[in-house]
Amino acid sequence: MAQNSLEGPVPKVGICSNLSKVSLQGNNKLCGGVLGTHCEISRIEKSSLLIWLVSGLAIGFTILSLTIAFCLRQWVTSGSRRSNAEEIEVSKLDSLIDQNHLYFLNSSRSREPLSINVAMFEQPLRKLTLGNILEATNNFRETNIIGDGGFGTVYKATLRNGNKVAVKKLSQAKAQGDREFVAEMETLGKVKHQNLVSLLGYCSFGEEKLLVYQYMVNGSLDMWLRNRTGRLEVLDWNKRLKIAVGSARGLKFLHHGFHPHIIHRDIKASNILLNEDFEPKVADFGLARLISACETHVSTEIAGTLGYIPPEYGQSCRSTKKGDVYSFGVILLELVTGKEPTGPDFKEVEGGNLVGWVLQKRKKGEAVEVLDPAVLNADCEGAMLKVLQIASVCLAENPARRPTMEEVYKLLKGV
């Protein structure tokens, strides 16, 4: 087979496997096999291999693209179904109470689980969760509302163990950040006094802010003085004086006994709550500061409630301790007269309110005529006139002439 101009690879099987290099010499285009030389791939073979390689890659890419497209379609479809299911679930929340079916609160923007814990300051309630609150308030049903003020709605909540708490759903704190809210809550949670309604805990989720307070069995002073239902007994003078002294003690602590000092900004009869022994507790302290501290604009609104707002607040929106003293003076007038701060009875009076009516009567020497006839008798007339005098000092038009809450408390203790 030598010198025959053979070419190509030498087979490694058959008779060629027994050939020697000598028997194949002179064939320069032979390769491989017994010769031990490397065989180069021809151009045709190279082209064929490249075609197969490109074809394989194209087919693989096509299959991969189809697979990805199919998966994306399935994911989008299932996501749409899941979103629709969530919206349906949210729309049912008002009627669903069972925790096994409640997954989100009623705000469509909120997707927080109901297992979120409520930050508690009191050990007995440390395990309270958002789900517990929804169950205890019957999902914030209207029949559970026990108060509705400028800062939000208050609901009575009965826990599974029978304990009752009050849950305030803030209405003006939705835009504020959690950092500011939590900082204020941690401060207010430290305020403890026998004549202040204790903040037991708080919860922030999405746009909602909840505060958990002590539940006051006898409701508010406003409820007892107004007695709009006609089913409540008249508060006798001893209870009224007890309420005046206790409320002053609580405000004195806010102004002088706690650091940083707290200006209430919205003192009124509906914020004086009463326990089972008619011991007063001041509520909603710090909430005005909580709202204003987190506002992103300069507020031009006057703090307080009509009938309790001091005259100087008309020129300045800055709240002061002496402003609180003025508002407390109005409460003292309510206790002494039994009348509301504003109303049709004062149409002909300068100022058109209770303060103007009382001041007018005192100037005429008719102070006794303003005393509440429902409780007035010979035994308490002197004490009622003394409280009326203290109220008048609190209501001085010039804030500098008003006493401090510490001084007011001492004066009332001496009645």
Answer whether residue 203 is part of any domain: yes
Structure tokens given for 270: 């509906």
Answer whether residue 60 is part of any domain: no
DSSP of 146-172? EEEETTEEEEEEE-TTS-EEEEEEESS
Answer whether residue 17 is part of any domain: no
Contact 329, 391 (CB under 8 A): yes
Number of domains within the chain: 2
pTM of the model: 0.70
Residues 196 and 234 in one domain: no
**Containing structural domain, residue 151:** 119-214
Contact 167, 133 (CB under 8 A): yes
Contact 292, 299 (CB under 8 A): yes
Q: Mean pLDDT: which of 90-104, 198-212, 363-377 is highest?
A: 363-377
Mean pLDDT of 239-244: 98
Residues 317 and 391 in one domain: yes
Residues 252 and 385 in one domain: yes
Residues 203 and 266 in one domain: no
Residue 239's pLDDT band (cuts 50, 70, 90): very high
Q: Cα angle at 389 between 383 and 390, to 5 degrees?
A: 90
Note the pLDDT tens digit of each residue in 373-411. Answer: 999 999 999 999 999 999 999 999 999 999 999 999 999
Domain boundary pick from 185, 214, 243? 214
Residues 230 and 338 in one domain: yes
Residues 388 and 360 in one domain: yes
Domain boundary pick from 214, 240, 269? 214
- Mean pLDDT of all residues belonging to the chain: 80
- Give catalytic residue positions: 266
Where is pLDDT greater, at 196 or 43? 196
Residues 231 and 202 in one domain: no
Structure tokens given for 41: 């791939």
CATH of the domain at 158: 3.30.200.20
Q: Is a pLDDT exceeding 90 seen at residue 204? A: no
Please check if 169 is assigned to a binding site: yes
